[in-house]
Structure 1
Amino acid sequence: MPVMRADAARNLTAVLRAGARLLAEDPGTSMAAIAAAAGVDRTTVHRRFASREALLSAVFQAKLDSAEQVLDEARLTEAPVPVALHRYVEGIVPVSRQWPVDTRRMMQKDPVASARREEQSARLDAFVRRAVDEGHLRAGTDPQWARAVLDGLVDAAAHQFPGMEAPQAADLVTATLLGGLGTA
């Protein structure tokens, strides 16, 4: 694969981030509006992406790439549960803010992206089951419920409290999940 020039890479990143933000707000946002928000001309966007759907697909891939990196770095299967949970939340809150698009929308159109998202979801499900099995969450806690609570807390921290720094969000989500559903 050829190496991308630094300015081209910066432009691509700007287009993807602007696209993520604007398409999350309005899925009908024009390519011209995305180009303007990214600080590039419309032909730059059209040269790279044949359609809004192609751009949206690239945004979803970027979000999935970022989420996968967070999952890897959290060490969900190796690190102690509270540590892994904190790492996950501290990493995923900025990803959720940077890529605010809802990946469920893409799942109906892109089976590869859907499979990636399902694999990532399965990793989190296994982590939550591990938290229950190891006694970090009350015995009898439904892992699906705990996962839904975790997702809701992450979403709230990322989007309802956008000024909250990621480490603070991780502290709060970890304390709320482990304290609210925990054994204490």
Structure 2
Amino acid sequence: MRADAARNLAVVLRTGARLLAEDPGTSMSAIASAAGVDRTTVHRRFATREALLSAVFHAKLDSAERVLDEARLMEAPVPVALHRYVERIVPVSREWPVDTRRMMRQDPDADRRRAEQSARLDAFLRRAADEGHLRPDASPEWVRAVLDQLVDTVAHRFPDVEPPRAADLVVDTFLNGFGRS
């Protein structure tokens, strides 16, 4: 792929992610216009809005996969791994604000990938509990829901908070809220 075509694709995907997160009914023409490319450029690459949405979800999943790998959730000390995860997932959430759960009904591959990534994070949280970093009376579902909400909140309600500081806030809140007293 030519460099300009790759740049256009990246701009279309990021613009599409932002606009579709705001309004899932956003037209391809509106996305093309906001991305600063011709409508035919978008249609040549994506036959339908659903195809564009699928590409956006896969781009987000690719980014999340890299975050999970780089955080070293099962190797690094729990507080370090958690901080790495949050510091890296906040920019991913900001760059790709679409909710991947929406795609699951339409894209079995995206559903499989999301489930695998979710299982990796769940395994990390079990490890954190097993190593005594979390209160034993906190249900895994509640712990995960709170972590997800903290990340979502700092990523989207506090967009000016830089990722390292966002990670500090989330890790402190999470480990002190669920940590052993």
TM range (shorter): over 0.9
Structure 2 unaligned blocks of 5 or more: none
Identify the residue that residue 141 of structure 1 maps to in structure 2.
138
Q: Distance in 2 between matches of 1:64 and 1:94?
A: 13
Of 150, 153, 156, the residue aligned with 2:153 is: 156
Shift of 1:98: 0.5
Of 162, 169, 172, the residue aligned with 1:172 is: 169
Identify the residue that residue 46 of structure 1 maps to in structure 2.
43
Q: Distance in 1 between matches of 2:166 and 2:121?
A: 18
TM-score norm. by structure 2 comes to 0.98
Shift of 1:93: 0.4
Structure 1 unaligned blocks of 5 or more: none
Matched to 1:9, the amino acid is A
Q: Distance in 1 between matches of 2:134 and 2:24?
A: 38
Q: Distance in 2 between matches of 1:128 and 1:149?
A: 12
Structure 1 runs of 4+ with >4 Å offset:
none
Matched to 2:156, the amino acid is H
Of 104, 111, 120, the residue aligned with 1:107 is: 104
How much identity, in percent, do the aligned residues show? Answer: 78
Shift of 1:96: 0.5
Counterpart mapping for 1:36-115 below 5 A: 36-115=33-112
Counterpart mapping for 1:5-24 below 5 A: 5-24=2-21
TM-score norm. by structure 1 comes to 0.97
Shift of 1:55: 0.2
Further displaced range: 41-50 or 137-146: 137-146
Q: Distance in 2 between matches of 1:141 and 1:76?
A: 20
Q: Distance in 1 between matches of 2:138 and 2:129?
A: 7
- Tell me how large the CA RMSD over aligned residues is: 0.7
Q: Distance in 1 between matches of 2:158 and 2:122?
A: 25
Q: Distance in 1 between matches of 2:111 and 2:22?
A: 22
Shift of 1:139: 2.2
